Amino acid sequence: MAKRERGLGRGLEALLPAKGGDSAPILNLELNKIVPQLNQPRKNFEDEALQELVDSIKEHGVLQPVLVRPKDDHYEIIAGERRWRAAQLAGLESLPALIREIEDIQAAEISLVENLQREDLSAIEEAQAFKNLLEHYQYTQEQVAARVGKSRAYIANTIRLLKLSPEIIEMIEKKKISPGHARALLSLRTSREQIAAAYEIINGKLSVRDAEKKTRDKGAGEKVSRKGADIMEVEERLRQLLGTKVEIKTSRRGGKIEISYYDDEDLERLVDIMGA
Protein backbone atom coordinates (compact mmCIF):
# COMPACT_ATOMS: atom_id res chain seq x y z
CA MET A 1 0.00 0.00 0.00
CA ALA A 2 1.21 3.49 -0.78
CA LYS A 3 2.54 5.57 2.05
CA ARG A 4 -0.14 7.87 3.47
CA GLU A 5 0.92 11.42 4.10
CA ARG A 6 -0.23 13.24 7.16
CA GLY A 7 -2.22 16.45 6.87
CA LEU A 8 -4.84 15.38 4.34
CA GLY A 9 -7.53 16.03 6.91
CA ARG A 10 -6.99 19.71 6.11
CA GLY A 11 -8.11 19.01 2.55
CA LEU A 12 -6.93 21.08 -0.39
CA GLU A 13 -5.38 23.77 1.80
CA ALA A 14 -2.70 21.27 2.86
CA LEU A 15 -1.45 21.11 -0.71
CA LEU A 16 -1.76 24.73 -1.83
CA PRO A 17 1.43 26.80 -1.70
CA ALA A 18 1.81 28.94 1.36
CA LYS A 19 2.36 32.66 0.89
CA GLY A 20 6.03 33.37 0.42
CA GLY A 21 6.82 29.66 0.13
CA ASP A 22 8.71 27.87 -2.61
CA SER A 23 5.94 25.48 -3.61
CA ALA A 24 5.09 24.78 -7.25
CA PRO A 25 3.52 27.79 -8.97
CA ILE A 26 -0.12 28.01 -10.03
CA LEU A 27 -0.39 27.79 -13.81
CA ASN A 28 -3.19 28.47 -16.28
CA LEU A 29 -4.16 25.28 -18.09
CA GLU A 30 -6.35 25.02 -21.17
CA LEU A 31 -9.73 23.56 -20.25
CA ASN A 32 -9.51 20.96 -23.00
CA LYS A 33 -6.34 19.63 -21.36
CA ILE A 34 -8.17 18.94 -18.09
CA VAL A 35 -10.28 15.81 -17.49
CA PRO A 36 -12.44 14.81 -14.48
CA GLN A 37 -11.39 12.06 -12.11
CA LEU A 38 -13.17 8.76 -12.77
CA ASN A 39 -13.53 7.99 -9.04
CA GLN A 40 -14.68 11.48 -8.07
CA PRO A 41 -16.88 10.98 -4.97
CA ARG A 42 -19.47 13.52 -6.06
CA LYS A 43 -21.64 12.28 -8.92
CA ASN A 44 -24.45 14.86 -8.85
CA PHE A 45 -24.02 18.56 -9.56
CA GLU A 46 -27.11 20.65 -8.78
CA ASP A 47 -27.96 23.00 -11.65
CA GLU A 48 -28.92 25.94 -9.44
CA ALA A 49 -25.76 25.85 -7.33
CA LEU A 50 -23.61 25.36 -10.43
CA GLN A 51 -25.22 28.36 -12.13
CA GLU A 52 -24.47 30.51 -9.07
CA LEU A 53 -20.81 29.57 -9.42
CA VAL A 54 -20.93 30.35 -13.16
CA ASP A 55 -22.28 33.83 -12.38
CA SER A 56 -19.58 34.37 -9.75
CA ILE A 57 -16.83 33.29 -12.16
CA LYS A 58 -18.13 35.65 -14.83
CA GLU A 59 -17.96 38.53 -12.37
CA HIS A 60 -14.88 37.73 -10.27
CA GLY A 61 -13.02 34.98 -12.15
CA VAL A 62 -11.86 31.71 -10.61
CA LEU A 63 -10.64 32.60 -7.12
CA GLN A 64 -9.19 29.22 -6.14
CA PRO A 65 -7.12 26.97 -8.42
CA VAL A 66 -8.09 23.40 -9.13
CA LEU A 67 -5.71 20.65 -8.05
CA VAL A 68 -4.64 18.33 -10.88
CA ARG A 69 -2.10 15.61 -11.60
CA PRO A 70 -0.49 14.63 -14.92
CA LYS A 71 -2.40 11.82 -16.63
CA ASP A 72 -1.14 10.67 -20.03
CA ASP A 73 -1.32 13.77 -22.22
CA HIS A 74 -3.91 15.47 -20.00
CA TYR A 75 -4.32 16.62 -16.41
CA GLU A 76 -6.75 14.81 -14.11
CA ILE A 77 -8.74 16.81 -11.57
CA ILE A 78 -8.14 15.82 -7.95
CA ALA A 79 -10.11 18.69 -6.39
CA GLY A 80 -12.21 21.31 -8.14
CA GLU A 81 -14.37 19.53 -10.72
CA ARG A 82 -17.28 21.85 -9.95
CA ARG A 83 -15.08 24.89 -10.73
CA TRP A 84 -13.95 23.22 -13.96
CA ARG A 85 -17.55 22.59 -15.02
CA ALA A 86 -18.57 26.14 -14.15
CA ALA A 87 -15.58 27.58 -16.03
CA GLN A 88 -16.70 25.71 -19.15
CA LEU A 89 -20.23 27.09 -18.82
CA ALA A 90 -18.82 30.57 -18.23
CA GLY A 91 -16.98 30.36 -21.54
CA LEU A 92 -13.43 30.36 -20.15
CA GLU A 93 -10.64 28.81 -22.18
CA SER A 94 -8.20 28.23 -19.31
CA LEU A 95 -8.25 27.62 -15.58
CA PRO A 96 -5.73 28.29 -12.78
CA ALA A 97 -4.36 24.97 -11.58
CA LEU A 98 -1.86 23.55 -9.12
CA ILE A 99 -0.10 20.56 -10.68
CA ARG A 100 1.13 17.81 -8.36
CA GLU A 101 2.35 14.24 -8.77
CA ILE A 102 -0.21 12.37 -6.65
CA GLU A 103 -0.73 8.61 -6.31
CA ASP A 104 -4.16 7.02 -6.65
CA ILE A 105 -4.69 6.42 -2.94
CA GLN A 106 -3.82 10.00 -2.01
CA ALA A 107 -5.97 11.32 -4.85
CA ALA A 108 -8.96 9.39 -3.50
CA GLU A 109 -8.40 10.78 0.00
CA ILE A 110 -8.03 14.39 -1.12
CA SER A 111 -11.14 14.28 -3.32
CA LEU A 112 -13.19 12.84 -0.48
CA VAL A 113 -11.93 15.22 2.21
CA GLU A 114 -12.29 18.29 0.02
CA ASN A 115 -15.90 17.44 -0.83
CA LEU A 116 -16.73 16.64 2.79
CA GLN A 117 -15.33 19.98 3.92
CA ARG A 118 -17.52 21.77 1.41
CA GLU A 119 -20.53 19.62 2.37
CA ASP A 120 -20.95 18.82 -1.33
CA LEU A 121 -21.57 15.09 -0.99
CA SER A 122 -24.88 13.33 -0.48
CA ALA A 123 -25.04 10.53 2.07
CA ILE A 124 -24.94 7.94 -0.72
CA GLU A 125 -21.91 9.56 -2.36
CA GLU A 126 -20.18 9.57 1.03
CA ALA A 127 -21.03 5.90 1.53
CA GLN A 128 -19.66 4.96 -1.89
CA ALA A 129 -16.48 6.96 -1.29
CA PHE A 130 -15.93 5.32 2.11
CA LYS A 131 -16.56 1.90 0.57
CA ASN A 132 -14.05 2.70 -2.18
CA LEU A 133 -11.33 3.35 0.40
CA LEU A 134 -12.20 0.13 2.24
CA GLU A 135 -12.36 -2.15 -0.78
CA HIS A 136 -9.81 -0.71 -3.21
CA TYR A 137 -7.16 0.50 -0.75
CA GLN A 138 -7.72 -2.00 2.10
CA TYR A 139 -8.42 0.67 4.71
CA THR A 140 -10.11 -0.28 7.96
CA GLN A 141 -13.12 1.70 9.14
CA GLU A 142 -10.94 3.18 11.88
CA GLN A 143 -8.41 4.40 9.29
CA VAL A 144 -11.13 5.95 7.12
CA ALA A 145 -12.57 7.68 10.18
CA ALA A 146 -9.17 9.12 11.08
CA ARG A 147 -8.53 10.33 7.52
CA VAL A 148 -11.82 12.20 7.13
CA GLY A 149 -12.30 13.37 10.72
CA LYS A 150 -15.42 11.32 11.45
CA SER A 151 -16.20 8.65 14.04
CA ARG A 152 -15.95 4.96 13.18
CA ALA A 153 -19.67 4.60 13.94
CA TYR A 154 -20.43 7.36 11.42
CA ILE A 155 -18.44 5.53 8.74
CA ALA A 156 -20.15 2.19 9.49
CA ASN A 157 -23.67 3.65 9.59
CA THR A 158 -23.13 5.59 6.37
CA ILE A 159 -21.84 2.54 4.46
CA ARG A 160 -24.85 0.51 5.66
CA LEU A 161 -27.08 2.77 3.54
CA LEU A 162 -25.75 0.99 0.45
CA LYS A 163 -27.54 -2.18 1.63
CA LEU A 164 -30.90 -0.53 0.93
CA SER A 165 -32.76 -1.19 -2.32
CA PRO A 166 -32.01 1.01 -5.36
CA GLU A 167 -35.48 2.56 -5.05
CA ILE A 168 -34.78 3.79 -1.53
CA ILE A 169 -31.29 4.95 -2.46
CA GLU A 170 -32.91 7.04 -5.19
CA MET A 171 -35.31 8.50 -2.59
CA ILE A 172 -32.30 9.57 -0.51
CA GLU A 173 -30.56 11.09 -3.53
CA LYS A 174 -33.70 13.03 -4.47
CA LYS A 175 -34.06 14.15 -0.83
CA LYS A 176 -37.48 12.57 -0.45
CA ILE A 177 -36.23 10.95 2.76
CA SER A 178 -33.25 11.86 4.90
CA PRO A 179 -30.31 9.60 5.77
CA GLY A 180 -31.79 9.38 9.28
CA HIS A 181 -35.05 8.03 7.87
CA ALA A 182 -33.10 5.60 5.70
CA ARG A 183 -31.10 4.25 8.66
CA ALA A 184 -34.39 3.53 10.44
CA LEU A 185 -35.49 1.42 7.45
CA LEU A 186 -32.45 -0.84 7.84
CA SER A 187 -34.13 -2.52 10.82
CA LEU A 188 -36.70 -4.07 8.46
CA ARG A 189 -35.78 -7.38 6.85
CA THR A 190 -37.01 -7.21 3.27
CA SER A 191 -36.83 -4.63 0.50
CA ARG A 192 -40.61 -4.75 0.16
CA GLU A 193 -41.10 -3.84 3.80
CA GLN A 194 -38.47 -1.10 3.59
CA ILE A 195 -40.04 0.46 0.47
CA ALA A 196 -43.54 0.34 1.97
CA ALA A 197 -42.27 2.01 5.14
CA ALA A 198 -40.42 4.63 3.07
CA TYR A 199 -43.65 5.65 1.34
CA GLU A 200 -45.37 5.82 4.73
CA ILE A 201 -42.63 8.20 5.87
CA ILE A 202 -43.02 10.36 2.76
CA ASN A 203 -46.83 10.40 2.70
CA GLY A 204 -47.12 10.91 6.44
CA LYS A 205 -44.27 13.46 6.55
CA LEU A 206 -42.90 11.55 9.53
CA SER A 207 -39.96 12.82 11.56
CA VAL A 208 -36.92 10.60 11.97
CA ARG A 209 -37.98 9.80 15.53
CA ASP A 210 -41.47 8.78 14.37
CA ALA A 211 -39.94 6.68 11.59
CA GLU A 212 -37.68 4.91 14.09
CA LYS A 213 -40.66 4.12 16.32
CA LYS A 214 -42.73 2.84 13.41
CA THR A 215 -39.98 0.54 12.15
CA ARG A 216 -39.33 -0.74 15.68
CA ASP A 217 -43.02 -1.57 16.04
CA LYS A 218 -43.02 -3.29 12.65
CA GLY A 219 -39.95 -5.26 13.65
CA ALA A 220 -41.60 -6.38 16.88
CA GLY A 221 -44.73 -7.45 15.00
CA GLU A 222 -42.57 -9.26 12.47
CA LYS A 223 -40.95 -11.34 15.22
CA VAL A 224 -44.39 -12.43 16.43
CA SER A 225 -45.55 -13.28 12.92
CA ARG A 226 -42.40 -15.29 12.24
CA LYS A 227 -43.44 -17.73 14.95
CA GLY A 228 -45.49 -19.78 12.52
CA ALA A 229 -47.37 -23.04 12.86
CA ASP A 230 -44.21 -25.18 12.72
CA ILE A 231 -42.58 -23.40 15.67
CA MET A 232 -45.80 -23.52 17.68
CA GLU A 233 -46.10 -27.25 17.02
CA VAL A 234 -42.54 -27.82 18.27
CA GLU A 235 -43.31 -25.77 21.39
CA GLU A 236 -46.36 -27.94 22.09
CA ARG A 237 -44.38 -31.18 21.64
CA LEU A 238 -41.72 -29.94 24.08
CA ARG A 239 -44.37 -28.95 26.61
CA GLN A 240 -45.86 -32.44 26.47
CA LEU A 241 -42.43 -34.05 26.72
CA LEU A 242 -41.20 -31.89 29.61
CA GLY A 243 -44.50 -31.21 31.37
CA THR A 244 -43.80 -27.48 31.73
CA LYS A 245 -44.00 -24.18 29.87
CA VAL A 246 -41.64 -23.99 26.86
CA GLU A 247 -41.17 -20.98 24.61
CA ILE A 248 -39.10 -20.79 21.42
CA LYS A 249 -37.83 -17.32 20.55
CA THR A 250 -36.56 -16.89 17.00
CA SER A 251 -34.17 -14.24 15.73
CA ARG A 252 -32.30 -13.51 12.52
CA ARG A 253 -29.49 -15.80 13.66
CA GLY A 254 -31.08 -18.86 15.18
CA GLY A 255 -32.91 -18.32 18.44
CA LYS A 256 -33.31 -19.77 21.92
CA ILE A 257 -35.55 -22.14 23.86
CA GLU A 258 -36.79 -21.04 27.29
CA ILE A 259 -37.88 -23.83 29.67
CA SER A 260 -39.68 -22.80 32.84
CA TYR A 261 -39.47 -24.58 36.19
CA TYR A 262 -41.30 -23.80 39.41
CA ASP A 263 -39.05 -24.99 42.25
CA ASP A 264 -35.86 -26.95 42.89
CA GLU A 265 -37.70 -30.28 42.75
CA ASP A 266 -39.18 -29.36 39.36
CA LEU A 267 -35.72 -28.40 38.10
CA GLU A 268 -34.28 -31.79 39.15
CA ARG A 269 -37.16 -33.52 37.34
CA LEU A 270 -36.35 -31.65 34.12
CA VAL A 271 -32.65 -32.45 34.47
CA ASP A 272 -33.46 -36.15 34.79
CA ILE A 273 -35.72 -36.06 31.69
CA MET A 274 -32.97 -34.42 29.63
CA GLY A 275 -30.36 -36.86 30.93
CA ALA A 276 -28.12 -34.12 32.25
Residue pair 216/185 in contact by the 8 Å Cβ criterion:
no
Burial of 212 (0-12, 13-18, 19+ CB in 10 A): middle
Helices (H), the chain: 47-60, 81-89, 104-117, 123-136, 141-148, 152-160, 166-173, 179-185, 191-204, 208-226, 229-242, 264-273
Active site includes 81? yes
Cβ atoms < 10 Å from Cβ of 79: 27
Q: Is the dihedral of CA 145, 151, 154, 156 positive or negative?
A: positive
Q: Which of 46, 48, 81, 101 is flagged as catalytic?
A: 81
Active-site positions?
Answer: 81
